[in-house]
Amino acid sequence: MSMQEPRKPQATLELVAERAGVSRATVSRVVNGSDRVKADARKAVEQAIRELNYVPNRAARSLAQGRTNSIALVVPENTAKFFADPYFAKVVQGAAQYVAGTEFMLTLLLSTESDPAKTTRYLQGGNVDGALVLSHHAADRSYADLGSLLPLVYGGRTMSTDQNEIYVVDIDNIAAARQATEVIIAQGRTRLAMIAGPQDMGAGLDRLTGFQQAVHNAGLEPAVIRIGDFTPASGHRIMQQLIESKADFDGLFAASAQMGFGALQALAEAGFKVPADVSVTAVDDDSFARSSTPPLTTIAQFPERQGEIMAELLIKRIQGEQVPEWSIMDTKLVLRDSH
């Protein structure tokens, strides 16, 4: 009869506290997402949690050697923006379709800035085996250390440079924006404006870079650049401001079809003809691109496929398989009447 090795004791709050050199109460506050912990103490506790592989609640401890067979799709946006943006619906649909053919369940979490710690506590609490994170902003520090505790896959480049275990499924946003801008330049337009996306998001930053590269490669300088938030309202508002300020441009690249849609509305209201007066392109081939007047020339990405790939990679990670840290998806130029 063979001798079995003694099982290692399950990590407890007390063991974490001893390792971190703090009180049990301090560990409890960190685990429960309290802000009443000094930065150095929090860092010590988080490091002890990782070293001891501590699982924060009783239900999760009972599952430490197994799985919940559940994954979360986390969207750090308010509900109004989530339901108005067709991109999110397509990603959710793709992820759900893939998960439906597995033993896993998919949980949707809308996490707003008002209480990101609540979502973090849920993810850390043994309720899911991993998470998909969409629409990540630089300020979303609540996810910064989760990669060491829970398998994550991001939909879009994360802005955080100090996170562990980063896995991303995205398009080449720089190349997409560069191509969309080159379409305008090919029409002979030389005074190019851009309505960029939020600069605290990878897509917003990279699409601005792609626009600038295309303009500079053509020996030009940007006529004007303004920052929006990817919504139709911001595209409309910014275009109104450009028209009122008598900005001189004959081409416009919008970082999203939604902003392009809003910009086209403002141009029409001011009596501009597209593309005769202004050539317009965007990224995203969604319902806004197809229903705008005129229909938008865009760079299409495929968010439903993105959701499928994200779910597939996450489940493979949960099952212990090796997956690529970066998965770059193809895009497609869709020519319509706006350029």
Residues 166 and 311 in one domain: yes
Report yes or no: 296 and 138 within 8 Å, Cβ to Cβ: no
pLDDT at 25 over 90: no
Q: How many domains does the chain have?
A: 3
- Is position 279 within any domain? yes
pLDDT at 322 over 80: yes
- Is position 295 within any domain? yes
Residues 209 and 134 in one domain: no
| DSSP 8-state secondary structure symbol assigned to residue 324 | -
- Is position 3 within any domain? no
Residues 295 and 313 in one domain: no
Name the nearest CA neighbour of 183 among 18, 286, 336.
Answer: 336
Residues 150 and 93 in one domain: yes
54 versus 228: the higher-pLDDT residue is: 228
- Is position 186 within any domain? yes
Residues 87 and 142 in one domain: yes
Report yes or no: 221 and 239 within 8 Å, Cβ to Cβ: no
Three-state DSSP class for residue 221: coil
Residues 180 and 165 in one domain: no
Using the structure block, give the residue that is written with the tokens 């020339």: 297
Residues 186 and 273 in one domain: yes
Using the structure block, give the residue that is written with the tokens 């998001």: 201
Residues 194 and 297 in one domain: yes
- For 229, the domain range is 173-301
Q: Characterize 249-286 residue by residue with b for buried, 16 or more Cβ atoms within 10 angstroms of its Cβ, and e for exposed.
A: bbbbbbbbbbbbbbbbbbbeeeeeebbeebbbbbbbbb
- Is position 63 within any domain? no
pLDDT at 7 over 60: no
Helix H or strand E segment including 219: none
Report yes or no: 166 and 144 within 8 Å, Cβ to Cβ: no
Cα 87 from Cα 218, distance rounded (Å): 31
Instruction: Please provide the DSSP assignment of 235-285 as one string.
Output: HHHHHHHHHHTT---SEEEESSHHHHHHHHHHHHHTT--TTTT-EEEEE--
**pLDDT tens-digit map of 53-67:** 887 654 444 444 467
How much is the pTM? 0.79
**pLDDT tens-digit map of 115-172:** 667 788 888 888 899 999 987 766 666 666 677 788 999 998 887 655 666 899 999 9
Residues 178 and 221 in one domain: yes
Percent with pLDDT over 90 in the chain: 61
Q: What is the CATH number of the domain that holds 43?
A: 1.10.260.40
Lowest mean pLDDT among 35-49, 172-186, 300-314: 35-49
The amino acid present at 322, given as its one-letter code, is Q
Helix H or strand E segment including 99: helix 86-100
**pLDDT tens-digit map of 83-116:** 888 999 999 999 999 999 998 999 998 876 556 6
Residues in the chain, overall count? 339
- Is position 144 within any domain? yes
Phi, psi dihedral angles at 290 (to 5 degrees): -80, -25
- Is position 40 within any domain? yes
Three-state DSSP class for residue 252: strand
Report yes or no: 97 and 297 within 8 Å, Cβ to Cβ: no
Residues 240 and 259 in one domain: yes
In degrees, rounded to 5, the angle at the alpha carbon of residue 132 between the alpha carbons of residues 127 and 133 is 110
Q: What is the CATH number of the domain that holds 287?
A: 3.40.50.2300
Based on DSSP, count helices (H) and strands (E) in the chain, helices before strands.
13, 12
The amino acid present at 153, given as its one-letter code, is V
CA dihedral 18, 20, 23, 28 (to 10 degrees): -110
Residues 296 and 178 in one domain: yes
Residues 192 and 286 in one domain: yes
Using the structure block, give the residue that is written with the tokens 């999203």: 256
Report yes or no: 114 and 89 within 8 Å, Cβ to Cβ: no
- Is position 234 within any domain? yes
